[in-house]
Amino acid sequence: MEVARKSHWEKIYESKDEEAYSWFQPYPHTSIEFIEYFQLPKNARIIDIGGGDSHLVDALLRLGYTDITVLDISAMAIEKARKRLGDRADRVRWIVSDVTEFEPPAGQYDFWHDRAAFHFLTIEPLIRRYVDIAQRAVRPGGYLVLGTFSPSGPKKCSGLDIRQYSRAAMSAVFSPFFRRVKCVEAMHVTPFQTTQHFLFCSFRRRRQS
């Protein structure tokens, strides 16, 4: 399954420019608002899951953040981001991996960000695996922010099924290890002028699981 997912995303990133991605946004307003809300220090250890060719890393570098990791299943997505950033790419840690195969050290990150990667996991074993990896990776007291399609959003993306989440559903998945802090709804306008309804929820890692 991992090989099939990787092949799917490599083909997408090889065949399209960023303006042709339905998820493309030139500036990640909602994600940055969460970072500002939590008043993360500039040396906070931040990881962007599925962040490949996203512009969040650009925004973080401009804001002065110094400890940024980007993980994506697609090597092509990361290569595109590195080329876009030029010399600044050397200030970022890049990881090519399926998130469900990721093995971070315990407590490695202060802030785990995921816009539209988690909702592609549609079977329970992979969802549980993701939660287990996230709870291990985020230090006690650290933060997790997830953006998924809401119940009013699409049921598919890039030819793949996704799982929609309400506030209650997302909280139920992460509540064993994380306490929900704040959720916001966001309407994403695609490059094709269609709209996608997202739900972003933030959580804080419980100090004791």
Is the domain spanning 2-205 CATH 3.20.20.70? The answer is no
The pLDDT of residue 2 is above 80:
no
pLDDT of 102-116, one tens digit each?
A: 999 999 999 999 999
The whole-number average pLDDT for the span 63-77 is 96
Structure confidence at residue 209 (pLDDT): 47
Reported confidence tier of residue 123, pLDDT bands at 50, 70, 90: very high
The pLDDT of residue 15 is above 80:
no
On average, the pLDDT of the chain sits at 90
Residue ranges covered by each domain of the chain: 2-205
Nearest Cα to 38, choosing from 144, 197, 179, 186?
144
The whole-number average pLDDT for the span 54-69 is 97
The whole-number average pLDDT for the span 193-208 is 89
The pLDDT of residue 79 is above 60:
yes
Which residue's entry shows tokens 């290569």? 79
Q: How many residues does the chain have?
A: 209
Task: Mean pLDDT check: name the lowest of 56-65, 70-79, 140-149, 184-193.
Answer: 184-193
pLDDT of 144-172, one tens digit each?
A: 999 999 998 888 887 789 999 999 999 99
SS3 label, residue 105: coil
Distance, CA of 8 to CA of 10 (rounded, Å): 6
Q: CA dist 186 to 4, 198, 208, Å?
A: 30, 5, 31
Reported confidence tier of residue 127, pLDDT bands at 50, 70, 90: very high
The whole-number average pLDDT for the span 43-62 is 95
Rounded to two decimals, what is the model's pTM? 0.90
The pLDDT of residue 182 is above 90:
yes
Opening angle at CA 200, ends 198 and 201, nearest 5: 150
Structure confidence at residue 22 (pLDDT): 58
The whole-number average pLDDT for the span 23-27 is 74
